[in-house]
């Protein structure tokens, strides 16, 4: 892993579709971006922010999410997800994450990722399954 500079930022853009919206309200006109999808795309932006600094056998795993979903975004609107590195401690990387639709801030919080050696992780997972 190379040194990850503070302020490194990743972004992800999304058009909210029925597949990324909640479907349990019962009225199609009330479908909005779901909280689990919002969090997943925040994580994606964070992962993409640090990927250029990782070695070939490394990737990052989410270890903490502390997110507030502040406003609803209807199907058909665009959302930009941003993750900015705020702290690096060894293999742990902390991010400030935000989601903004075309009108306002819809989500914010913090997210932590751990940089993992993939072959080592695969071996640990295989051992866990075997026991």
Catalytic positions, please? 35, 43, 69
* DSSP count for the chain of H helices, then E strands: 2, 5
Measured between alpha carbons, how far is 89 from 98 in angstroms, rounded to an integer? 22
Measured between alpha carbons, how far is 69 from 89 in angstroms, rounded to an integer? 27
Measured between alpha carbons, how far is 30 from 38 in angstroms, rounded to an integer? 17
> What are the strands, taking DSSP E only, across 1-131?
9-15, 58-69, 78-89, 92-101, 105-117
Structure tokens of 99?
């989601």
Measured between alpha carbons, how far is 102 from 8 in angstroms, rounded to an integer? 23
């Amino acid at each position: 892993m190379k040194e990850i500079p503070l302020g490194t930022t990743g972004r992800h853009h999304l058009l909210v579709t029925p597949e990324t919206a909640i479907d349990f309200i019962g009225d199609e006109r009330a479908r909005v971006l779901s909280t689990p999808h919002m969090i997943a795309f925040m994580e994606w932006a964070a992962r993409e922010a640090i990927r250029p600094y990782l070695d070939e056998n490394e990737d990052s795993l989410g270890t903490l999410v502390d997110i507030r979903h502040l406003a609803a975004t209807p199907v058909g609107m665009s959302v930009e997800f941003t993750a900015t590195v705020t702290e690096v401690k060894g293999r742990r990387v902390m991010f400030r994450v935000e989601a903004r639709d075309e009108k306002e801030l819809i989500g914010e919080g913090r997210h932590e990722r751990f940089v993992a050696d993939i072959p080592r992780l695969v071996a640990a997972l295989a051992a866990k399954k075997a026991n």
